[in-house]
Structure 1
Amino acid sequence: MPRILVALMLREMATTYGRSAGGYIWAILEPVLGVVLLSVVFSMALTRPGLGSNFPLFYATGFLPFTMFLDLSSKVAQSIRYSRPFLAYPSVTYLDAMLARVLLNALTHIVVMTVVIGGIFFLYQLPPVVNLAEIFEAILMIIAFAVGVGTLNCYLFTAFPVWERAWGILTRPLFLMSGIFFLYDMMPPMAQNVLWYNPVLHCISQLRRGVYPTYQANFIEPAFVFGTAVVVLLFGLLLLSRNARDLLER
């Protein structure tokens, strides 16, 4: 199994970035440019960000975990379709394909997050007062929920191709509903009652609680995120285990 995972990871590294100029540099440049754009646009409209006084740091701690969730869940959801030629071999299973994509893309996003946020601390000479335990928990929450959603969508995308388009439409409002621009604490009570049930909001807020030592965010409930992730994951694995053969023949 380790050899299969390494082979699948090397293949994805070669096909995703290996053929483009710059290679894996784009994995870092894309989020950096996204954070810079958000910082420039909103610094012209607002006098200060929702936390602290540094716009790049505030938007990086919202944009990067959100991007990590979307990309990781999407990569897991497309595992069967992406690795279909290899799944014809008896020694390669859909779990191998999914696990390889989880490991590679999770590590890539962790490196990107470390480089971008660490670079902001260095460039702006910010005091590095962070809580690594809180940040680590936030990353685990993101990975768990992304893998759960991606596993369920792995079945739905393959069995019902129209669902992939519908999912893309349904997730667009998440960009505004996950606390990237405005903190949960600043929202009206009616909005808070609805948005609390958005696990991505908890993940982003948890990361910010680790980066900003004065940010309490008492509304965060990691058990809700992990519980939701486990339920969705088990449901997705059940559907895949019952229909894996049919999905490979589509």
Structure 2
Amino acid sequence: MVRIIFALMLREMATTYGRSAGGYIWAVLEPVLGVTLLSVIFSLALQTPGLGTNFPLFYATGFLPFAMFNDLTNKVATSIRFSRPFLAYPSVTFIDAMIARVLLNALTHIAVIAIVITGIYVIYQLPVVVNLASVFEALLLITLLAVGVGTMNCYLMTAFPIWERVWQIITRPLFLMSGIFFTYDLMPSQAQNILWYNPLIHCIGLMRRGLYPTYQGSYINQELVIAVSLVLLVLGLMLLERTYRNLLER
């Protein structure tokens, strides 16, 4: 199983990054440019960010976890389609394909987050007071949530192709509903009562708790994120285990 997963990871590295100019450089440049653009736009519109005084750090702590969740979810959801030729072999299962994509892309995003955040601290000469335990916990919960949502979507998108379009439509507001631009604490109480059930807002809050020593984030509930993730993961795996061979023949 380890050899199969490693081979699938190498294949994805070659197909995803090896064919593009710059390869892995774009994996770093894309979030850097995104954080820079948002920082410039919102620094002109707002006097101070929701936390601290540095716009790039504030938006990076929201944008990068969201980008990690969004990309991992899509990669897991399309893992059967991506590795369909190899799933014809009895020794390769859909779980191998999922694990390979999760490992490769999670490690890539963690490296990108580390590079971007470190770069912001160095460029702006910010005092480094980081709670690594909270940061690692946030990254772990983001990965778990993405795997749960992605596994369920993997079944739905493979069984019902129209679900991919539906998912893109219903998740467009997620960028604004996950506390990227404004912290949960600054939102109106009516919005808080609804957005509290968004697991991603807890993950982003946990990331900011790790990078802002004065930020408490009393609303953060790790149990909610774990419960939603595990329910979707178990349900998705059960559905795929029963039907994925039939789905491959479509």
For the aligned pair, the TM-score class normalised by the smaller chain equals over 0.9
Cross-structure match for 1:15: 15
Residue 86 (structure 1) aligns with: 86
Q: How far does residue 244 in structure 1 lie from its aligned partner after superposition?
A: 1.2
User: Please, what TM-score do these two structures have when normalized by structure 1?
Assistant: 0.99
* 1:152 matched residue in structure 2: 152
1:208 aligns with 2:204: no
Matches within 5 A, 1:4-43: 4-43=4-43
**TM-score where L is the length of structure 2:** 0.99
Matches within 5 A, 1:169-248: 169-248=169-248
Alignment of 1:105-116 (within 5 A): 105-116=105-116
What secondary structure sits across from 1:67 in the alignment? helix
Q: What does the per-residue CA deviation read over 1:10-61, in whole Å, with 9 as the maximum and x for residues that have no partner?
A: 0000100101111100000000000000000000000110000000000000
Residue 64 of structure 1 aligns with an amino acid whose one-letter code is L
Distance of 1:221 and 1:200 partners within structure 2 = 11
Whole-Å Cα distance in 2 between the matches of residues 47 and 74 of structure 1? 35
Over 3 Å off, 4+ runs: none
| 2:67 counterpart of 1:67 | yes
Structure 1 residue runs without a partner (length 5+)? none
Find the aligned partners of 1:227 and 1:136 in 2 and give their Cα distance. Answer: 19
CA distance in 1, matches of 2:190, 2:48: 25
What secondary structure, in the 3-state scheme, does the structure 2 residue paired with 1:105 have?
A: helix
Total equivalences in the alignment: 250
Q: Secondary structure at the match of 2:48?
A: coil
Cα separation, 1, equivalents of 2:211 and 2:31: 18
Report SS of the residue matched to 1:47.
coil
1:112-146 C-alpha deviation (Å, 9 max, x unpaired): 00000011001111111010000011001100100
Aligned to 1:139: 139
Unaligned runs of 5+ in 2: none
Q: What do residues 135-170 of structure 1 show as CA deviations (whole Å, max 9, x unaligned)?
A: 011001100100000000000000000000000000
- Does the alignment pair 1:44 with 2:59? no
1:245: how far off?
1.1
CA-based RMSD of the aligned residues comes to 0.4
- Aligned partners of 1:121 and 1:247: how far apart in 2? 48
